[in-house]
Structure 1
Amino acid sequence: MKLTQLISIATYTLILGGCGGGGTSTPPASSKASVSPTQSSTSVSSLVASSSTSLSSTPNSSVASTDSRPKISFNRDIKHIVGDIHSFDRRKFITIHSSNTEADWFGSNAQSLGAPNASPDLITEVMDGYDVYFGRDTGGITWQLGELNQDPARPGFVSESHAQTKGGDARWVYSNNANSAKIRQFENRLTDMIIGAQQHPFWPDGKLTRKGWALSQTDTPSEPFGTATGHYMGQYLAKYFSKGAGDLFGQPKPLYVEVMNEPLYDLVDASASPVPVEKVFQFHNTVAAEIRKTNSDVLIGGYTVAFPDYDKNDFQQWLNRDKVFIDLAGANMDFYSIHLYDFPAHNNREKYRRGSNVEATLDLLEQYDTIKFGKIKPLVISEYGASIHSMFSDPWTPQRDGLRLIAFNGLLMSFLERPNNIAKTIPFLPIKAEWGRVNGIPYNDRLMRQRKEAPGETGDEWVFTDMIKFYQLWSDVKGTRIDITSSDPDLVVNAYADNKRVYLIINNLEFNAQEFTLNDYSLNNPAFANATIKHLHLDSQNAPVLSETVSDKFPDSLSIGGSGTMIITMNYESAVVIDQTKVEQKTYATNYLQAIKTNSPLNFAINGITPAAFGEATLRLGIGRDHGKSLQPKVTINGTEVTVPKDYRGYDQYHQGKGRENFFGVIEIPVPYSILKANNQIEVTFADDGGHISSAALRAFHYSRNFTH
């Protein structure tokens, strides 16, 4: 996220609004009322320990079918497989926007304003204590460019001999500075690091480096525009890092290289002289080709999209940007990179990615990639979180941290459903980020603050912001993914089993608290010992609270705070036996982005489904329409009409006129498994005109045994 993107300050108004979707993209009269996420939610003590929470002593619980509360069901014995992935990869999902070399980890230095850390060993406490992995560094490559001389024989290019010398110096310093012993302890946590370039001075426009020269702007067949940039990046990767096993010097080499961080914002959207997007995308091709000349062991991608608002201007942003990038540069990219942020307070609007919108965004990208190349290219989400524009100029507040924690968890739950396609995800959370201080106001996105920043506290030492609660919440989760389902799309779930433990993860996309029932339908039942319930939510002052409760009874009835996340660790007396399978198969249609016309059927072919004896399925339709248009089309699959639900993930997006400018999201339609065929014909008809179906996919789950949900 760029600092300049956050300068626009908006007035933020808290509103009441419908939540959870409906038959149209404006809240119908019957919609349940909800509050915005900065309003209060119930504390965990009343949710878990009060008399209103039912705790059953029966390990295998099943609440009566007349119960109207949402129902969450799990099967411990059924392994959930997506592609070839069936376990929780902390290296991929529990990460931090930092590297082991950052001086921010160590107190009493310039990056810490000379103040000490409260933690005697901060890097160990975070990385080992909460089992976190390093993610991304966009500063080192920029700093080192400013240290290099120009090649006198090749103006506009770095001197390769000087890069050899400076790279050797950097490798030696890494292994021989005062913190070397400590930082090398964590090399196992940066095996798939990301690095990326910034616009300046990497975009060749005459901007000088600290040495007083600029990268070549030549654009000829023998030296395409960007050649000098790619040449330097290749030199940096080849000469500034460890050479591999047996090399005693240098940081391990990064795996992922982003050609440029969020290029279109600076070069197009915020520029007085916008650069044609095609030039930016061809620049990616040139840089990638140059890097590969000296580095065969890195993966190169882009274009690190800042604002993937694909539906903007009736999908013109998709057609004129991301589709163009895939068409021009996709074949030369090893991965795509993208940034995804909630905007809870932007121009007096609440615009949330989490929920149906992020699903539609990723489905559109995946489907077009499938159509174009026959497969889905790996996706790197190198930043995600929330930008709270109305609080940008405020000092640190727990309320701002709370909104960002809500975004972290809500977005992560969607990413976890794509473990086979997503290569890496990084919540945008630098450590101290003093480089981002503006007019005395510290950078908003930080893991650490000085003690004196909180009301009633004094002292300069560095302590955790509330953002540490993200890592505390997820600190224990690991193991094999198992079957879990929710009857309410606003309660998003995931589950993993490891030895004698099962981790049940529930995220509430509603702004208000929700009660739900918990049901265990596993066929084998080791003796239940107890449950530990971690619950992250907002308190009555809108500050984040992470509470932990232990129950010796099966928690068959619980309540989760508005926009909250709950991780229930079920402890058993013996190891969980997983001897059945649930194989997920997500298949996209052969066509996409179809314009909606009144009573005009839209047809999609989804082929290659492999039904089993037991299973279930969902049709996913990405829809972009003006508010007030229907979100409940008539849908037939292989000639059989199916019921289209009124509800969908997350808020209704209209939000009483204070939400998104239009609806863009996925609606998920249950499909009777018995009507699936190898090749399936889907027909979708709307009774009104306007907008597009952006994507269409069948998500089928093939079980090895019969099951109950």
Structure 2
Amino acid sequence: MRLLLFFCLLGCVSVKAQEVKIDIDLSSFKTYGATSALEREKFFNSHNSPGGEFTAQEWDFLKSIKFGMGRCFMSPNPGSSVACGVTGDEIRKKGERWGASFKKLPMYNSSAMEEIILTSHPTPGKGGSKNYAFHWKGLGADYSPEAKIMADFLKYYFVENGISLPRYIEPMNEPYVHANDYKNVWAKDSDVRVEMARYHKMMAQELHKQFPNVKVGGFASAWPYLEGFNSDFEHWNSRMKMFIDTVGKELDFVSFHIYDGMNVKGEDCFRSGSNMEAIMDIIEGYCAIKFGKPLPLLISEHGMTRKDWLTQAYSEERDWKILRSVNHQTMQFMQRPGNILKCIPFFSGKATWRKDPNPYPWVISRKNKDGDWEWTHLIKYFQFWKDLSGKYVDAQSSDPDILSLAFLDKKRLSVVLNNLEDDKNLELNLCNAHGRKIKSVKLRRLYEREGIPVLEDTDYSGEQVRLTLRRDETVIVSFEYNQALHPSSTLDNRKYYATEYLKAVKAGEANSFCVKIDSGKKKRALLQVGIARPHKKSILPAQLCLNGKKYIIPDNWKGYDQADRIKEGFFGVVDIPVAIEDLKNDNEVSLIFDTEGGTVSTVALNIDYVL
């Protein structure tokens, strides 16, 4: 695929032969609520915490590429439950020892743990872990003793040592996949899940009382298969919805994990694209109905995983597949930054704890055949993103498979492009530079060549750039101007969810939704519809109306058709551009499908307001 970037000093230049249009309006900043600039600490992280795996020299390198740390498994060992006999005095003594040891690490500073998500294993598990959080104590149990122990843990490990508290607490990691760990005491999985949710609530109540600035959430869902089990959203109802309802107003954020993976045929399959949009929309949409506004999202793991990788030797191609998925997902999270608290790409350190001749598939450093430590290709993620900064600028793509973002940092404009699907021809238009001249153009590209990740920096002279944008490639095009650019207007992106959700599809019957929006001057609007449909059924409705006006529904959406993802069907969001003159304060959206089956999960209006 060929990408031609044409730009001029005063306005826009386009090439008619190009298929996909990317428009960058240099006259308009873009905000997402209170978020106006790239917040690197939200996105460019790893599943690591400050520790002793790396030498001082290695830490210096990691700091130079802005390597972010993000998550740590810690609890009052051996378990935060009083059933283990843990006392406050024991925690105080262990906290003193831990603090003294922590302060000797080469990367230590008092705020080193501030941006960390603190979590714990939910149960001892098959390995008999002693670092775990939850004990089955029966229905309606009191978990306030465990909550007070956790508060003591934070006090003695962090506060008393002069170390900043972790900002985010996930009391358990992926607890519901361990709900059957208590079957030996005749506990029903469904009862265990409810009690785990109640545990979260009591934990949050105590920690909010003692540490008001600490955010508590969960449930770090391992498998957000929300539309399952029979395309009836029973998985959602019995897990995520139940959890949100149980914890209620004590919940500061909803956390979950997003992974591309493997289907039943052993082929790669993907949540990246429309599916992860549908997952985020149903969580936000339901919280908007229940609480009056969406709860913030925290994605405490994301990337790609396959069970068969754990028994395989190191593979450069595997590194590429992980990089590919993490970059797709990072771009999608960056397109909705106002409600994202933090995202953790699943990159491990050296994983020296692993007792296996094959390296842990997600390590950034591994031992080579000579026994020396060397960086894996996964380090390229941080090298690729390390220089990105600036305020959001209005960027639009005419094709949902091409994700686009733009950031302005004084004289430097960075345009980021990511390709979710097959090769496409693109056309990039830079508009309203107001006489500023381009001094230089630099390209940073991350792609694969014969299965091996390639990170490439190229300098160009002149004002015309040609390159090939491959499938799954990510590119940062950096324009350096002779003078700082000063956009004169601001667009504020706002998303409004319908007052209802989850409506079953019946052949020929209209499903109607009401979406209430604010008054004000608008530049553009998207109607975003979450759809779950069985395979072999038409994904799109036969008719869609906004306030009585029929709209043609695009037969394209972020990513692929999901035909190989699961056996049940498609679950994703489809974007429909709508005319702003067709909008009212109270909007009626109706959809009619020709055939029965599936669900309309969410309906939302995504609108750019002119401030």
Q: Mark yes or no: TM-score above 0.5.
A: yes
**Among 410, 415, 427, which residue is 1:504 paired with?**
415
- Counterpart AA for 1:518: L
**Among 353, 366, 372, which residue is 1:461 paired with?**
372
Which residue of the partner structure matches residue 116 of structure 2? 193
Using the TM superposition, give the Cα deviation of residue 608 of structure 1 relative to its aligned residue in structure 2, in angstroms: 2.3
Cα distance change on mapping 1:369 and 1:161 into 2, 3 Å? same
Aligned: 1:257 with 2:193:
no
- Counterpart AA for 2:189: V
Using the TM superposition, give the Cα deviation of residue 327 of structure 1 relative to its aligned residue in structure 2, in angstroms: 1.1
| SS of 2:338 mapped into structure 1 | coil
Aligned: 1:341 with 2:252:
no
Which residue of the partner structure matches residue 105 of structure 1? 54
String of CA shifts for 1:536-560, please: whole Å, max 9, x gaps: 1111x21111111111233465431
Aligned: 1:367 with 2:300:
no
Which residue of the partner structure matches residue 630 of structure 1? 538
Cα distance change on mapping 1:269 and 1:58 into 2, 3 Å? farther
| SS of 2:337 mapped into structure 1 | coil
Aligned pairs (5 A) from 1:32-181? 54=4, 56=6, 58-59=8-9, 62=12, 64=14, 66-100=16-50, 102-106=51-55, 121-127=57-63, 129-138=64-73, 140-141=74-75, 144-146=76-78, 156-175=84-103, 177=104, 179=105
Aligned: 1:599 with 2:523:
no
Aligned pairs (5 A) from 1:421-440? 421-438=339-356, 440=357
**Among 468, 481, 502, which residue is 1:572 paired with?**
481
Cα distance change on mapping 1:217 and 1:496 into 2, 3 Å? same
CA contact (8 A) 1:98 1:430 kept: yes
Which residue of the partner structure matches residue 491 of structure 2? 582
Which residue of the partner structure matches residue 578 of structure 2? 671
Return 5+ residue gaps in structure 2 as ranges: none
Using the TM superposition, give the Cα deviation of residue 501 of structure 1 relative to its aligned residue in structure 2, in angstroms: 0.5
Using the TM superposition, give the Cα deviation of residue 279 of structure 1 relative to its aligned residue in structure 2, in angstroms: 2.1
Aligned: 1:394 with 2:344:
no
Using the TM superposition, give the Cα deviation of residue 284 of structure 1 relative to its aligned residue in structure 2, in angstroms: 1.7
CA contact (8 A) 1:234 1:293 kept: no
Cα distance change on mapping 1:618 and 1:271 into 2, 3 Å? farther
Cα distance change on mapping 1:670 and 1:660 into 2, 3 Å? farther
Which residue of the partner structure matches residue 23 of structure 1? none
**Among 98, 104, 108, which residue is 1:184 paired with?**
108
- Counterpart AA for 1:434: T
- Counterpart AA for 1:376: P
Q: What's the C-alpha RMSD, in Å, of the aligned pairs? A: 2.7
String of CA shifts for 1:197-249, please: whole Å, max 9, x gaps: 11234x9x9x7959xx998755587xx34444333322211111144xxxxx4
**Alpha-carbon distance between aligned partners in 2 of 1:269 and 1:682, rounded to the nearest angstrom:** 45
Return 5+ residue gaps in structure 1 as ranges: 1-46, 107-119, 244-248, 453-458, 705-709
Using the TM superposition, give the Cα deviation of residue 575 of structure 1 relative to its aligned residue in structure 2, in angstroms: 0.9
Aligned pairs (5 A) from 1:257-276? 257-268=169-180, 274-276=188-190
| Number of residue equivalences | 604
**Alpha-carbon distance between aligned partners in 2 of 1:574 and 1:373, rounded to the nearest angstrom:** 46
Quote the sequence identity (%).
29
Cα distance change on mapping 1:524 and 1:189 into 2, 3 Å? farther
Q: Which has the higher contact order (CA 8 A, sep 6+)?
A: 1
CA contact (8 A) 2:32 2:337 kept: yes
- Counterpart AA for 2:528: R
**Alpha-carbon distance between aligned partners in 1 of 2:377 and 2:347, rounded to the nearest angstrom:** 12
Which residue of the partner structure matches residue 269 of structure 2? 351
Using the TM superposition, give the Cα deviation of residue 319 of structure 1 relative to its aligned residue in structure 2, in angstroms: 1.4
- Counterpart AA for 1:198: H
**Alpha-carbon distance between aligned partners in 2 of 1:261 and 1:190, rounded to the nearest angstrom:** 18
| SS of 2:388 mapped into structure 1 | coil
Structure with bigger strand share is: 2
Which residue of the partner structure matches residue 553 of structure 2? 644
**Alpha-carbon distance between aligned partners in 2 of 1:322 and 1:208, rounded to the nearest angstrom:** 26
String of CA shifts for 1:64-115, please: whole Å, max 9, x gaps: 5742411111012211111111100001111122122x11122xxxxxxxxx
**Among 236, 239, 244, which residue is 2:156 paired with?**
239
Which residue of the partner structure matches residue 116 of structure 1? none
| SS of 1:635 mapped into structure 2 | strand
Using the TM superposition, give the Cα deviation of residue 635 of structure 1 relative to its aligned residue in structure 2, in angstroms: 1.1
**Alpha-carbon distance between aligned partners in 2 of 1:77 and 1:518, rounded to the nearest angstrom:** 16
**Alpha-carbon distance between aligned partners in 1 of 2:548 and 2:7, rounded to the nearest angstrom:** 47
**Alpha-carbon distance between aligned partners in 1 of 2:183 and 2:465, rounded to the nearest angstrom:** 56
String of CA shifts for 1:274-298, please: whole Å, max 9, x gaps: 5322122122223333444543342
Using the TM superposition, give the Cα deviation of residue 263 of structure 1 relative to its aligned residue in structure 2, in angstroms: 0.5
Aligned: 1:316 with 2:230:
no
**Alpha-carbon distance between aligned partners in 2 of 1:105 and 1:563, rounded to the nearest angstrom:** 31
CA contact (8 A) 1:171 1:241 kept: yes
**Alpha-carbon distance between aligned partners in 2 of 1:252 and 1:466, rounded to the nearest angstrom:** 32
Using the TM superposition, give the Cα deviation of residue 55 of structure 1 relative to its aligned residue in structure 2, in angstroms: 6.2
Cα distance change on mapping 1:316 and 1:55 into 2, 3 Å? closer
CA contact (8 A) 2:78 2:84 kept: no
**Alpha-carbon distance between aligned partners in 1 of 2:39 and 2:285, rounded to the nearest angstrom:** 24
- Counterpart AA for 1:232: I
| SS of 2:609 mapped into structure 1 | strand
Which residue of the partner structure matches residue 278 of structure 1? 194
CA contact (8 A) 2:31 2:493 kept: yes
Using the TM superposition, give the Cα deviation of residue 414 of structure 1 relative to its aligned residue in structure 2, in angstroms: 1.3
CA contact (8 A) 2:45 2:345 kept: yes
**Alpha-carbon distance between aligned partners in 2 of 1:501 and 1:573, rounded to the nearest angstrom:** 9
- Counterpart AA for 2:513: F
CA contact (8 A) 1:237 1:295 kept: no
Aligned: 1:537 with 2:447:
yes
Aligned pairs (5 A) from 1:542-557? 542-555=451-464, 557=466
**Alpha-carbon distance between aligned partners in 2 of 1:285 and 1:269, rounded to the nearest angstrom:** 21
Using the TM superposition, give the Cα deviation of residue 132 of structure 1 relative to its aligned residue in structure 2, in angstroms: 3.1
**Alpha-carbon distance between aligned partners in 2 of 1:693 and 1:514, rounded to the nearest angstrom:** 30
String of CA shifts for 1:504-551, please: whole Å, max 9, x gaps: 1111001x3322111111252411011111111111x21111111111
- Counterpart AA for 1:235: D
| SS of 1:183 mapped into structure 2 | coil
- Counterpart AA for 1:237: L
- Counterpart AA for 1:184: Y
| SS of 2:462 mapped into structure 1 | coil
Which residue of the partner structure matches residue 246 of structure 1? none
String of CA shifts for 1:551-590, please: whole Å, max 9, x gaps: 1233465431111111111111111212211111210010
**Alpha-carbon distance between aligned partners in 2 of 1:357 and 1:269, rounded to the nearest angstrom:** 30
CA contact (8 A) 2:7 2:429 kept: no
Which residue of the partner structure matches residue 358 of structure 2? 441
- The TM-score normalised by the length of structure 1 is 0.80
Cα distance change on mapping 1:347 and 1:684 into 2, 3 Å? same
Cα distance change on mapping 1:532 and 1:348 into 2, 3 Å? same
Which residue of the partner structure matches residue 426 of structure 2? 516
Cα distance change on mapping 1:352 and 1:660 into 2, 3 Å? farther
Using the TM superposition, give the Cα deviation of residue 591 of structure 1 relative to its aligned residue in structure 2, in angstroms: 0.6
Cα distance change on mapping 1:70 and 1:344 into 2, 3 Å? farther
CA contact (8 A) 2:274 2:573 kept: yes
**Alpha-carbon distance between aligned partners in 2 of 1:556 and 1:60, rounded to the nearest angstrom:** 18
Aligned: 1:492 with 2:388:
no
Using the TM superposition, give the Cα deviation of residue 391 of structure 1 relative to its aligned residue in structure 2, in angstroms: 3.0
String of CA shifts for 1:446-483, please: whole Å, max 9, x gaps: 1111132xxxxxx2221110001111111111110000
More displaced 10-residue stretch of structure 1: 679-688 or 366-375 = 679-688
- Counterpart AA for 1:323: K
Using the TM superposition, give the Cα deviation of residue 416 of structure 1 relative to its aligned residue in structure 2, in angstroms: 1.0
**Alpha-carbon distance between aligned partners in 2 of 1:103 and 1:578, rounded to the nearest angstrom:** 46
